[in-house]
Amino acid sequence: MSELKRTVTLTVNGKRYEKEVEVRVTLADFIRHYLGLTGTHLGCEHGVCGACTILLDGRSARSCLMLAVQADGHEILTVEGIAPNDTELHPLQEAFRDNHGLQCGFCTPGMLTTLLEFLRDNPNPTEQEVRIAISGNLCRCTGYQGIVNAALDAAKRLQAPGAPVLPPARA
Amino acid sequence: MKPPPFRYYDPRTLADAIGLLGRLENAKVLAGGQSLMPMLNMRYVLPDHVIDLNRVDGLSYIREAGGAIEIGAMTRQRELEFSELIRTKLPLMQEAILQIGHRQTRNRGTIGGSLCHLDPAAELVTLGAAFDASVVVTGPNGQREIPFAEFPVAYMTTAIEPNEILTAVRFTRWPAGHGYAFVEFSRRHGDFAITSAAVLLEADGGGKIKRASVTIGGAAVTPVRAREVEQALVGNVPTPELMRQACESCRAIEAIEDIHAPASYRQHLAAVLSRRALEKAVPRIGQPLAAKLH
């Protein structure tokens, strides 16, 4: 039962992966280095900046504060899995582009994953609720105003007919 | 910023977890990971073994047990946040929970992990003191209960023995219609409180305070009950002047000093925040509970 390495099987953005990993590797490093999905960013690596936020079974979590082995058997969504295909953006991403919700883009993966969960659970948020929702994600470019505007705009876009269904939370 | 090498165990039963903990030297127990993982990443802790409780059955629940609400150690903060039982029976906890970190950390962080870590500024630790909670720990010789007054033994150090695991916490309910409030001051939303105040009040029919619990978190090495404030309130009608005067005694708290604030500032906050919490709690006495927060 104990070892320094383990084989983990998990689903990331709908694709199943099976990899051997050192047990001390964080989920964030696993996603970036073992799977090559470098959209998940690492800012602080101790749970402050929110850039590494992913959805674990539909719920936001900081991937730097989990071990990859803990994700065995679970389903993960990273920023790469948000857009419906290679040529279109998700309405949340479009709202970010249209509202100057990003400048350098470092915090964006964490902002998007955080807001996917938030807008699923709270489809008609107030500005104050949006600000609290992103309080665990640091942005040093935008002053947050563009991000808040983007989130409020996205809430509207997501209620339009034909808008994509947000990823559900799994028990 | 990478965890040091360790061996990893993910037992399925509590008995296996306790067995491992008894057998392995220099082992750490991993709950929600929102404190231990940063400490591993920064190599503040260098365990040889990590025992992960996340796959242990039966440690995540919220249930009524007699006059208490019993919460399993691995119950995540988000489950407390959205629990109807917590909202209606422990409204103080629901008010406090929204100030714990952020959605992303509450989705993982557990009540047991928070209590074992025993950060003096942690909301759940402050609530343990406010409710005189009973901490249930399980070891090779079975279960025992630790009254919260005896749970912290020093700064970030609990009365849990090295071969024991915290398995549940019992919070005794206050009667329906009690007053409650949790207020804290931090530089940014979701940060650890520089100082916090938790208040529970019960009044008699004439508006006099029958029972009071006033707790200051984050100011000292462990949360402290403001006994002088409690005594000043009991038997009296809580007028603004009485509340203001009573809370002045909080300036005598033996406060800690760190990068965030000097001790004198924490003492000031203790007096101000306890008064604000009382002012918020008193009008709630006898009132129906706030509508759902979510």
Query: CA-to-CA distance for A164 and A83, rounded, in angstroms?
Result: 10
CA distance A151 to chain B (A): 16
Per the CB < 8 Å rule, is B188 touching A6? no
Query: Residues of B at the A interface (Cβ-Cβ below 8 Å)?
Result: 1-11, 33-34, 37-38, 40-42, 49-50, 52, 54, 78, 101-105, 107-108, 188-190, 294
Residue among B1, B2, B7, B8 with most chain A CBs within 10 A, to mutate:
B8
Query: CA-to-CA distance for B37 and B20, rounded, in angstroms?
Result: 20
* A138 pLDDT more than 70: yes
Provide the residue-wise pLDDT of chain B in tens; the chain has 294 residues. Answer: 799 999 999 999 999 999 999 999 999 999 999 999 999 999 999 999 999 999 999 999 999 999 999 999 999 999 999 999 999 999 999 999 999 999 999 999 999 999 999 999 999 999 999 999 999 999 999 999 999 999 999 999 999 999 999 999 999 999 999 999 999 999 988 888 999 999 999 999 999 999 999 999 999 999 999 999 999 999 999 999 999 999 999 999 999 999 999 999 999 999 999 999 999 999 999 998 877 655
Q: Comparing A32-41, A73-82, A142-151, A161-170, which segment has the lowest mean pLDDT?
A: A161-170
* Residue B23 neighbours by CB distance under 10 Å: 10
Confidence of residue A2 (pLDDT cuts 50, 70, 90): low
Q: Where in chain B does DSSP place strands (E)?
A: 7-9, 27-30, 49-52, 62-65, 68-72, 134-139, 142-147, 152-154, 157-158, 165-172, 179-185, 195-203, 209-217, 224-225
SS3 content of chain A, % helix, strand, coil (to 5): 35, 20, 45
Query: CA-to-CA distance for A136 and A119, rounded, in angstroms?
Result: 16
Per the CB < 8 Å rule, is A60 touching B8? no
**pLDDT for the residue numbered A58:** 97
Complex-level ipTM = 0.95
**Whole-prediction pTM value?**
0.96
Query: CA-to-CA distance for A154 and B75, rounded, in angstroms?
Result: 32
Residue with tokens 């004198």, as numbered in its chain = B264
Query: CA-to-CA distance for A96 and A101, rounded, in angstroms?
Result: 4
